[in-house]
Amino acid sequence: MSLLADIFTITAVSAGMFFFLAGTVGLLRFPDTLTRLHALTKADNLGFGLIVLGLLPQSPDVASGLKLVVVWLLVQLAGASASQLIAQFASKGGPPA
Amino acid sequence: MVEFLYVTAAILLLLTGLGLARMLWGPSPADRMMAAQLVGTGGGAIALLIATASGTTAIIDIALVLALLAAFAAVALSLGEPGTKQQDGSPNS
């Protein structure tokens, strides 16, 4: 059972690392602002979610596992609204009226 | 397992640091804010990995704070004073 949990953790955390790598490469290599935003927000939030999913079997008790899920929810909500705000800022060249 | 988590956190730290090059290059303020968002999510993931590897659950709070600060930074960018920013990345007056 513990071996199974370890295998699951290694698989999910490695997949999360891959998506973080994709997000960083996209942020550095894509040609303009909106494509970079696309690469960063999607790939990074997916990587974060996979890392949290992989860490859940390793959490020592239920409370800290729930806390991991809460951090994940906060990152999802904050990332989604922040990407909308940044895209609005970038497309209008300034803060929205 | 502990070693794997620490190595993963180190690689993630390297990736987040590489992403900071975008904050240096710009060219627009939105690009710089994206690099700051990357520090928010990447730093949060590093904090969660270290919290699980070391068994110190208080480190999860650091991930919460980083995610919250990244969100506030994006809101502050979008609420900035009109007329004080240019899209071409030239220095603010």
Identify whether B62 is part of a domain: yes
Is residue A43 within 8 A of residue B29, CB to CB? The reply is no
Facing residue for B30 by CB, picked from A33, A58, A68: A33
Q: Give B79's contacts in chain A (Cβ within 8 Å).
A: 95
Exposed (0-12), middle (13-18) or buried (19+): which is B27, by Cβ within 10 Å? middle
**What is the predicted pLDDT for the residue at B27?**
82
- Torsion (CA) B38, B39, B41, B44 in degrees, nearest 10: 170
Identify whether B22 is part of a domain: yes
Domain count for chain B: 1
Q: Is B56 on the interface with A (CB under 8 A)?
A: no
Q: Which of A78, A56, A77 is nearest to A67 (CA)?
A: A56
**What is the predicted pLDDT for the residue at A10?**
92
Q: Give A27's contacts in chain B (Cβ within 8 Å).
A: 19, 22, 34-35, 38
Per-residue pLDDT reduced to its tens digit, B69-78: 999 988 888 8
pTM for this predicted structure: 0.85
Give CA–CA dist B42/B27, Å, rounded.
Answer: 22
User: Between vectors from CA B88 to CA B84 and to CA B91, what angle results, nearest 5°?
Assistant: 50
Band (pLDDT 50/70/90 cuts) for residue B83 is: low
Domain region containing B66: 2-77
Is residue B30 within 8 A of residue B74, CB to CB? The reply is no
ipTM of this predicted structure: 0.86
**What is the predicted pLDDT for the residue at B93?**
41
Identify whether B56 is part of a domain: yes
